[in-house]
Each structure stands twice: as C-alpha cells, then as structure tokens.
Amino acid sequence: MKKSCLLLGIGVVLGGFAATATAADTTAAACPVSGKPVQQTATATHHGGTVYFCCKKCQKAFKDDASKFASKANQQLVVTGQASQEKCPISGGTTKSGTEFQVGNTEVAFCCKNCRKKVAEATASDRVDLVFGDQPFGKGFVVHDDSE
C-alpha cells in the first residue's frame, strides 16, 4: 500500500481494548523538543517512524542529539499511531486488564500492579522515561512498517 493511503487499522492494544489512529495523525502530537503543537513540514526518521516538530530549529536540535529527546519522540510515535503497545514496557511481559495508567496523553498497560505502581509513583517527567525510554520502548512497543 502507498504510505499516503494507508489507514492504520491497528490500535494501541491496552488490556483488551484498542484505540485506532490514522497514519501521520498529528493532531494530538507535541514536539518532543519544545512541547508545542507540531507541523508536518519539520520531521525526522526515528526507529523507522516519522517524528514531527514545531519548527526547523527543534528538528535540528533533535538531529544533533536524538538521545536527549528519545523518550518524547518514542511517545509521539505511539500518539500518532505509528507504534502500538504489545507488551509491558517495564518487564516485557503480557499486559493485563486493570493495569492501565495514563502517562502524559497516552494510556499504557502493564503486566502487573507492581509494574504499574513503579510508574505511578514516579514523577511525571520520570514516567515518560520509564515507559518510553529506548529500552522500555523496545520491550513494550512496536513501530509499524507502513510500506506494506
């Protein structure tokens, strides 16, 4: 399928329910550098997906040091429907209903209440890193290849 025509019928599967999003749906996306609303003209490739920025200056800052903004970029991949959760980001185990927790503007499921508690007890900024840092993101989330 062509990229521009692809509707991601996949959802962010969290404990038995799914939320669908279209490819490149940036309406809820925030710039991983500034936190401002994004525009589709300032982008970078990250983990096989497209990250959007509010301006070219933030795009450059990301390209200069992507690791500094990786957690928020990974979260944006989920928010824009380019990635979905498949496992617990803390343990890599199967998620269970009743363990969901809101991390920023993203609901995340966990394998158990202990993993949920670890995230719930962290500060708001630490939660994003605990769930969407490169290592937990790799355990729990999959970026979808939209070139199929």
pLDDT tens digit sequence for 58-102: 999 999 999 999 999 999 999 999 999 999 999 999 999 999 999
Residue matched to tokens 């944006």: 76
Give the pLDDT confidence score for residue 66 in this predicted structure. 97
Q: Which of 99, 91, 94, 53 is nearest to 73 (CA)?
A: 53
Residue 148 lies in a domain: no
CA gap 109, 17 in Å, rounded: 10
Structural domain count of the chain: 1
What is the reported pTM? 0.81
Residue 69 lies in a domain: yes
- 60-92 residues labelled b (16+ CB within 10 A) or e (exposed): ebbeeebeebbbbbbbbbbbbbbbbbebbbbbe
Residue 25 lies in a domain: yes
Domain span holding position 112: 3-143
Residue 38 lies in a domain: yes
Give the pLDDT confidence score for residue 3 in this predicted structure. 36
Residue 80 lies in a domain: yes
Q: Mind listing the pLDDT tens digit for each residue in 4-57?
A: 333 333 333 333 333 333 446 889 999 999 999 999 999 999 999 999 999 999
Residue 19 lies in a domain: yes
Residue 82: HSE in the Cβ half-sphere, 13 Å Cα cutoff: 23
Region for 108 from its dihedrals, namely left if φ exceeds 0, alpha if ψ lies in -120 to 50, beta otherwise: beta
Residue 27 lies in a domain: yes
Q: How confident is the model at residue 105 (pLDDT cuts 50, 70, 90)?
A: confident
Whether 10 and 61 have beta carbons less than 8 Å apart is answered as no
